[in-house]
Amino acid sequence: MFQKKPGLKTALVGTAAAALVVTSLVTTPTADEADAASSQTKNVILFVGDGMGAAARDAIRLATVGEKGNLEMDSMPFVGMIHTSSTVPVTDSAASATAYASGVKTYNGAIGMDANKKPVKTIMEYAKGAGKSTGVVTTSQVTDATGAAFGAHVEDRSKQSDIALQYLTQSKVDVLLGGGEDFWYPAGNPGKFQDEPAEDPSEKSKGTQGNLIDKAKKLGYTYVTNKTDMQKAKGGKLLGLFANEEMFQQREEGKGDIYNPVVSLPDMTKKAIDTLSANKKGFFLMVEEEGTDEFAHANNAKMTIKAGQQLDSAVQVAKDFAKKNKDTLVLVLADHETGGFSIEEVDANDESGDAISKEDGPFQIANSDHNFVVDWTTSGHTAVDVPVTAMGKNAELFSGIYENTEIFNKLMQSLGLKKK
């Protein structure tokens, strides 16, 4: 609770001749100003489990902590539900992230643009304008749709080199950690990660804006490509790219599926928080787990769950920070649901077939002798609502049922920022 300080201060000043009583005015906040300052969020850590609807969260919970346990992302005091539509009922990640970042409904594929293809200022840009540091962490390319919508403005999400250049020269994001090195180097310059690797020969450098790694270094970024160098990195501007594109290989279950980022999402999250929190004015960090979407597109429940478990471990890192820094807000949400994910009994009487309706599993319920299976209805996105859980400073704002554009409005309110 903010305590009012007296507006007058009396001090005794000694001199050789006499003691004089000096009364001087001290500049202190008014009660209204103090209340407003004390109610503002200093730091925001926003987690996006891409494609992770309520059923996926339940499957992750059952497989990890069982029926009576709670994930870190669920052990939060405030819960809301978000309508996910873009300008059409079923959104993609670009339009959804733009709604979260800028408060507008837009067309699928838009990055930081409204439905008329006009740039819209992002919450991360507002935070930067208020003197805060900013960061994007993801297991996808750092220039992929979700992160991009918080720090760039392009009409088409595929323009990933344009997005990278805007990160460096326009929004000036301080910390960028994830995959996607291919979009930072021009064709013919493979950088750290070789072109056409065995696990995916389609991956190779394809940048369209010159050598953006060299540009980043000239602008003061420390560039790292592995965990050891990331952890050693000093200073407030950090670029870490740890894969050609995504930090995993998404395939159908049992067909060479791999989720083994060379730097884990929890480790990237911790480094980002450690770096950004050096700014006494605070920070805004967006953390995305891409595997919960990509593996759901492939109807691969095993890897969807594994990616979700890594997300939950990253949430734990943020919660530990927030418990020590009470002016921090932590949110966990999804941009949309992927796969029409549902949870069923192993012996359920179902319409099982050999294609998408075939049950996936079984998966053991933790701390139990019981199992469950996953059923899919699509390999695409759906229009169902997605949950948001929140803890920390101003977390109560995120209760209720509302449109995805309200996330932006609530974040602005929590940070005490005014739309311009």
Give pLDDT tens digits for 232-284.
999 999 999 999 999 998 777 777 778 999 999 999 999 999 999 999 999 99
Say if residue 35 is in the same domain as residue 46: no
**Which residues lie closer than 8 Å to 116 by C-beta, 6 or more apart?**
none
Say if residue 96 is in the same domain as residue 14: no
Per-residue tokens: 20: 């004089």
Whether 111 contacts 141, CB under 8 Å: no
Residue 329 lies in a domain: yes
Residue 6 lies in a domain: yes
Whether 136 contacts 150, CB under 8 Å: yes
Rounded-to-integer distance, Cα 72 and Cα 265, Å:
15
Say if residue 130 is in the same domain as residue 96: yes
pLDDT in tens, 84-100: 999 999 999 999 999 99
Per-residue tokens: 64: 């990890």
10 Å CB burial of residue 133 (0-12, 13-18, 19+) is: buried
- State residue 347's pLDDT score: 74
Residue 396 lies in a domain: yes
- State residue 299's pLDDT score: 94
The backbone torsions φ and ψ at residue 388, rounded to the nearest 5 degrees and listed phi first, read -130, 135
Say if residue 20 is in the same domain as residue 66: no
For residue 10, pLDDT over 90 is answered with: no
| E strands in 320-411 | 328-333, 337-338, 342-344, 360-364, 371-375, 381-382, 386-392, 400-403
- State residue 193's pLDDT score: 93
> % helix / strand / coil in the chain, to the nearest 5?
30, 25, 45
Say if residue 15 is in the same domain as residue 142: no
The region of weakest confidence among 8-17, 67-76, 161-170, 316-325 is 8-17
Name the 3-class secondary structure at 101. helix
- State residue 350's pLDDT score: 60
For residue 6, pLDDT over 60 is answered with: no
Identify the bridge partners of residue 138 per DSSP, sorted by sequence position.
288
Identify the bridge partners of residue 386 per DSSP, sorted by sequence position.
82
Say if residue 24 is in the same domain as residue 120: no
Confidence band of 353 (pLDDT split at 50, 70, 90): low
Share of the chain above pLDDT 90, in %: 83
Q: How does the average pLDDT of the chain come out, rounded?
A: 90
For residue 3, pLDDT over 60 is answered with: no
DSSP secondary structure string for all residues of 122-171: -HHHHHHHTT-EEEEEEEEETTSHHHHHHH--BSSTT-HHHHHHHHHHTS
Say if residue 265 is in the same domain as residue 281: yes
Say if residue 5 is in the same domain as residue 74: no
Q: Looking at residues 160-184, what average pLDDT do you find? A: 98
pLDDT in tens, 38-48: 699 999 999 99
Unique residue bearing structure tokens 């006499």: 18
- State residue 5's pLDDT score: 36
**Based on the structure, what is the number of domains in the chain?**
2
Say if residue 128 is in the same domain as residue 31: no
Residue 287 lies in a domain: yes
Per-residue tokens: 119: 């740039």
- State residue 244's pLDDT score: 96
DSSP secondary structure string for all residues of 168-212: HHTS--SEEEEE-GGGTSBTT--TTSPSS-TT-TT----BSSS-H
CATH number, domain of 393, equals 3.40.720.10
Closest CA to 330 of 275, 389, 385, 268: 389
Say if residue 164 is in the same domain as residue 253: yes
**Which residues lie closer than 8 Å to 361 by C-beta, 6 or more apart?**
301, 346, 371, 372, 373, 374
Say if residue 220 is in the same domain as residue 113: yes
Whether 157 contacts 145, CB under 8 Å: yes
Q: Looking at residues 273-300, what average pLDDT do you find? A: 97
Residue 420 lies in a domain: no
Per-residue tokens: 186: 């021009």
Say if residue 407 is in the same domain as residue 346: yes
- State residue 420's pLDDT score: 83
Confidence band of 355 (pLDDT split at 50, 70, 90): low
Confidence band of 198 (pLDDT split at 50, 70, 90): confident
Rounded-to-integer distance, Cα 82 and Cα 100, Å:
11
Whether 386 contacts 53, CB under 8 Å: yes
- State residue 16's pLDDT score: 35
pLDDT in tens, 130-147: 999 999 999 999 999 999
Domain span at 32: 1-39
Closest CA to 229 of 245, 213, 246, 241: 241
The backbone torsions φ and ψ at residue 171, rounded to the nearest 5 degrees and listed phi first, read -75, -20
